[in-house]
Amino acid sequence: MERNITHIALFAALIAVLGLVPKIDLISGVPITAQSLGIMLCGTVLGARRGALAVLLFLGLVAAGLPLLSGGRGGLGVFAGPSVGYLVGFPIAAFVAGLVVERWKVSIGIASFAGAVLGGIVVMHIFGIIGMSIMLGKSLTEAAMLAVPFIAGDLLKSGLAAGITRGLARARPASVLSRN
């Protein structure tokens, strides 16, 4: 019980830290915002339910006024803006990513990649695009065009999430709750 709580809280903190650190390079010279990677990892490492709770905890603190979104953003304003769809999609993305890793009994690297793509890309962008469509007064196809440039980077991030999850499974097998 205590372990569940602390893992959820620490990973919520990790999402924040991945948004607060200065830019990290995906590969040399290509900077990424690592926060969406944190969302993917909540799912792939903690599993569906705990992963989603970690993200919800994170969002609750952002809503309460802590500047934890990348770039030091936070507060209720971010939920009133065009990216609200993505914020709504975050916990669902983590849930789906976690579900794939929990249910699909292949190697954790492959399952994590699939989970990250399905949850962190497909689900997240579906919600994000719907959100932008409503808030910016555009059709779904038009809003989708705004999301497309980010997909390539997100695919690389999914690979990264898979590698990190696999590394964690080796370094701390008992702590990868999605497979325990």
Chain residues that interact with another protein, rule: CB under 8 A:
1-3, 5-14, 16-18, 20-28, 31-32, 34, 37, 41, 45, 57-58, 60-61, 63-68, 71, 73-82, 135-138, 146, 160, 163-164, 167-168, 170-172, 175
Q: Partners of 31 in the beta sheet?
A: 25
What is the closest distance, in whole angstroms, from the C-beta atom of residue 31 to another protein in the complex?
7
Cβ closer to another protein: 103 or 170? Answer: 170
Cβ closer to another protein: 97 or 160? Answer: 160
Query: What are the tokens at 46?
Result: 């903690």
What is the closest distance, in whole angstroms, from the C-beta atom of residue 70 to another protein in the complex?
10
Cβ closer to another protein: 68 or 124? Answer: 68
> Could you give the count of Cα atoms lying within 13 Å of 80 in the half-sphere of its Cβ?
4
Query: What are the tokens at 48?
Result: 């569906």
- Contacts of 24-32 with CB under 8 Å at 24 or more apart are 26/153, 26/156, 26/157, 26/160, 27/156, 32/153, 32/156, 32/157
